[in-house]
Amino acid sequence: MGEQPLSRRSPFVKPSPLQARLLLELVDVASRCYQRGWAHGTAGNFSLRGSDGLIWQSPTGLCKGELSPHAFIPVCIETGRAVSAEPMRPSGEMAVHLGIYRFTKAAGCVVHAHSPKVVARSVAGEPMVFRGHEMQKHLGCEHHLEELRIPVISNPKSMVGFDCEVSCHLDEKVPLVVLAGHGAYVWGKTPLAALSFLEALEFLCATT
Ligand SMILES: [Zn+2]
């Protein structure tokens, strides 16, 4: 992928200065996921909420350790269609991102990776329930004795129409959802906030 400025690739759509800064942060978060072995091959997908009902979605088929802000594709949240001619297609798992953005305004960005402890723990398809862990406070619990329940939903054979289905399983109080045997989708105000939630869940899965 070339290093053309966004204003040349997408003449009618470009991120605001704040979004441009957050795209750089998202590239850094994607690289960290790759370096940790949470996004092997071309796995993992990442997006940022833009202006006017758009998101900036990572493309399919690229190593997430080598993304650049220019690679992100502007997509309409409502229709799921790219709003400008792009050389790359958006991630094949974008349906989950769209479902999350439609569900909650708290999603400023969405991070998805195949962190191994989460994947292993989720294979059975049962909700992940934690109690008694200090780390739960990082995922919305007021104290460690509160029950934290992370939704785990079946990994669909096809993502067609999954954007409408996924929101039925989301919980406004818990910024994560897991696809069984696949990985977690995490949202936050910023990419680093979302990454910290994924780190917390990976830690809980590693220590229980
Ligand atoms: Zn995936």
Write the pLDDT tens digit of every residue in 51-63: 999 999 999 999 9
Q: Is the pLDDT of residue 8 over 50?
A: no
Distance, CA of 179 to CA of 184 (rounded, Å)? 6
Ligand 1 centroid to Cα of residue 97, in Å, is: 11
Ligand 1 centroid to Cα of residue 5, in Å, is: 28
Ligand 1 centroid to Cα of residue 85, in Å, is: 25
Q: Considering the chain, what percentage of its residues have pLDDT values greater than 90?
A: 84
Ligand 1 centroid to Cα of residue 71, in Å, is: 18
Note whether 192 and 199 are within 8 A (CB).
no
Ligand 1 centroid to Cα of residue 37, in Å, is: 13
Assigned token pair, 63: 């190593």
pTM exceeds 0.85 for this model: yes
Ligand 1 centroid to Cα of residue 125, in Å, is: 16
Q: Is the pLDDT of residue 6 over 90?
A: no
Ligand 1 centroid to Cα of residue 44, in Å, is: 5
Reported confidence tier of residue 23, pLDDT bands at 50, 70, 90: very high
Reported confidence tier of residue 99, pLDDT bands at 50, 70, 90: very high
Ligand 1 centroid to Cα of residue 39, in Å, is: 8
Ligand 1 centroid to Cα of residue 12, in Å, is: 30
Reported confidence tier of residue 88, pLDDT bands at 50, 70, 90: confident
Ligand 1 centroid to Cα of residue 145, in Å, is: 31
Ligand 1 centroid to Cα of residue 91, in Å, is: 9
The H or E element that residue 167 is part of is none
Note whether 183 and 95 are within 8 A (CB).
no
Q: What is the DSSP letter of 107?
A: -
Mean pLDDT, to the nearest integer, of 170-189?
96
Provide the β-strand partners of residue 59.
90
